[in-house]
Copies of this chain bind each other. A is one copy, B any other.
Amino acid sequence: MTKRRGLSPSARRQEIAVLKDRLRGRAHKITGPRAAILEILRAHPHPLTSRDIFSAMPRGGCDLTTVYRSMHLLEKMGMVQRFDFGDGAARFELLEEGDDGHHHHLVCVKCSQVVEIEQCFLREIERKIASQNGFKAVTHKLEFFGLCPRCQR
């Protein structure tokens, strides 16, 4: 049950510094675009598309290509988790250190509001399915969709 909101500006600045260290520590460089992407992900606790991030860029911004390349890098480093809501665009969330990123979402099909579902209900079932079919290293992707309270009328 990790906190994802409500950090004070100073705590937030600190966390961004930690993120930058994670990058720096692996022979990668802290650049303007990457710092901006981390800030944006930090400020939005819900999954963002590359285009969302691109649009949220401060003046100056960066090329959309750079966002795509940065997301690949951050994903490979385990700093963001990729999600897929079934429309054509990948979405990303920042990962706390030590978080494996496995969680799910409840998405309003009308307004796209997203609720984070922290628990996972399928670890046991996953094991059963793996052994029943002789598969190894089984994971799953699960997302819930429905009508949020405000969109119900």
Contact = CB atoms under 8 A, between A and B. Distances in A.
Interface stretch (A11-19, A39-47, A61-69, A132-140): A132-140
Contacts of A133: 106, 115, 148
Given A88-B88, A135-B147, A148-B134, A129 B106 contact: yes
B135 A108 contact: yes
Number of copies: 2
Interface stretch (A23-31, A48-56, A93-101, A120-128): A120-128
A141 B135 contact: no
Interface of A: 84, 86, 88, 106, 108, 115, 117, 121-122, 125-126, 129-130, 133-149, 152
